[in-house]
Amino acid sequence: MHTGALRPFACVAVAGVTVFLQGCGGGGSPTPAPTTPPTTPPLTPTPGPTGCTTVPHCDSCPNEKVCTVCSTGWQLANDGNTCLYACTSDVSLGVVASAQKKGLVLDDTTHHYCSDAMHSQWANTKDAVTSIRIGKAWESDWNEAYVSKTKAWDNFATYAHSNNARALVGTQITCNETDDDLDWANVLRLLPKLGPNNVMGISVGNELELLWTQQTIPKACYLGLWGPTGYLLKKFHSRIADVDKLGAEWKNTKITSVFGGYINAGQPFVNTAEAGVLGFLKSVVATYDSRYVFSLNVYPYFDSGNNWDDGTHTTCNTAIAKSVCFDDLTCIIPATVADERKRMEMVWPGKKIEFWITETGWSNPTAHTLEGVNKNMAACAAFSDISSFKSYYSNFLKWDMQVKGCDGPDHVFYFTMRDQTQDGEQEHFGLGSNAGGGAKWCTDTGCKIQAGGGSEVTVV
């Protein structure tokens, strides 16, 4: 959902549940595809009155350099003089548990059209977002002038510095080395703007274990990706060397490559000529030790084991219940974490390797891709209604990151800030209001969850 087309799902049995772990974004999809903008491109929210020209989105400035009141939908940041975006709602979901271990994924709508309006607070709370996942520095087919690209990067830096937030920054690995190197060149321009204290990690590649499933990808490409002399390790080592050249303070920056559920097709992880994940993981940890982080995209929403309640074709309450909970091993997320920890111990016995869930989320209304994964859940209206969306998000906020019998994940990112359009289809995983359709995704300052059942969604 975040970069490139939605990819095939990988099914894996975990603790009595069948889990679809589907990645929606991150550092470079296997098959980059044009990101289709909303039907009417959203407009960047209007800055504040002319008397506040040096403080965007400020309504009251005693002088041009000091803001006392931000515009609706914005709030004063920790630095006391920057207005950061925070969607508004009449519904409060309380305090975010383990907030320092949770972050938001940056969506294409916000990245491309309103990077000055990234969510600085968790929607429906008063708690600050302290980490973000930036899947790419820029999309090559956005065709924006360089000044627009650098303006977005400046907005990322302002957000990170004024909100004391850290970023996981991604870069792509594809079958086109020229494009990959250009993408990485953009990342190398972004990183110094953020600074080492505001970068929590670098992600090289996203769900590359699925590259071989793409019909347009030449066999020579995915076979040449893996192994000790393959393209992935070559580029991984090169990218990390470039990061370390930025200065001594960068040499402790965490590094990772994001995977999806197909890696569990082998024990402990898939290791075929087409998807040599196990060999890659062993190699990078042998080289970088605990600097490397194990990262996985996990989406209970796309679980293929979800079904109608027994004897019905009208309700799916059991499927919803096990998908939206976080507090028991019967719940999909904790069960997945427990299974991954066991697999990690098989690969690195006794070694402490961090585990990040790099994407998870819920869709309202129904994701257009759900039909191809689970027709029953696509047909169950309650599965993707605002109540289920609210339950998943609320339970995520309350989750203390603990998992019975094993270490919980060290960090988790929620997908995403706003709805977006991908390959001509709207995606509805955003926490921001989508009441006005794509043209208003950037200008509507409300949260999706509101009293009375949430937004009346307009799909265009």
Per-position pLDDT tens, the chain of length 460: 433 333 333 333 344 444 444 444 444 433 333 333 444 455 444 444 445 777 889 988 877 778 889 998 999 987 778 999 999 999 999 999 999 999 999 999 999 999 999 999 999 999 999 999 999 999 988 877 666 899 999 999 999 999 999 999 999 999 899 999 999 999 999 999 999 999 999 999 999 999 999 999 999 999 999 999 999 999 999 999 999 999 999 999 999 999 999 999 999 999 999 999 999 999 999 999 999 999 999 999 999 999 999 988 999 999 999 999 999 999 999 999 999 999 999 999 999 999 999 999 999 999 999 999 999 999 999 999 999 999 999 999 999 999 999 999 999 999 999 999 887 888 999 999 988 888 899 999 999 999 975 443 433 2
Q: What is the pLDDT of residue 169?
A: 98
Answer yes or no: are the C-beta atoms of 21 and 297 closer than 8 Å: yes
Q: What is the dihedral of CA 233, 111, 301, 365, to 10 degrees?
A: -160
Q: What is the pLDDT of residue 35?
A: 35
What are the boundaries of each domain within the chain?
A: 10-45+89-440
Residues forming a β-bridge with 102: 412
Name the packing angle between helices 231-245 and 277-288 (round to 10°): 30
Residues forming a β-bridge with 413: 103
The encoded tokens of residue 396 equal 């995520």
Q: What is the pLDDT of residue 146?
A: 62
Q: What is the pLDDT of residue 452?
A: 75
Q: What is the pLDDT of residue 435?
A: 86
Residue 374's CB is within 10 A of a number of other CB atoms, namely 23
Residue 93's CB is within 10 A of a number of other CB atoms, namely 20
SS3 153: helix
Helices (H) and strands (E) in the chain, counts: 11, 16
Q: What is the pLDDT of residue 453?
A: 59
The answer as to CATH 2.60.40 being correct for domain 10-45+89-440 is no
Answer yes or no: are the C-beta atoms of 268 and 338 closer than 8 Å: no
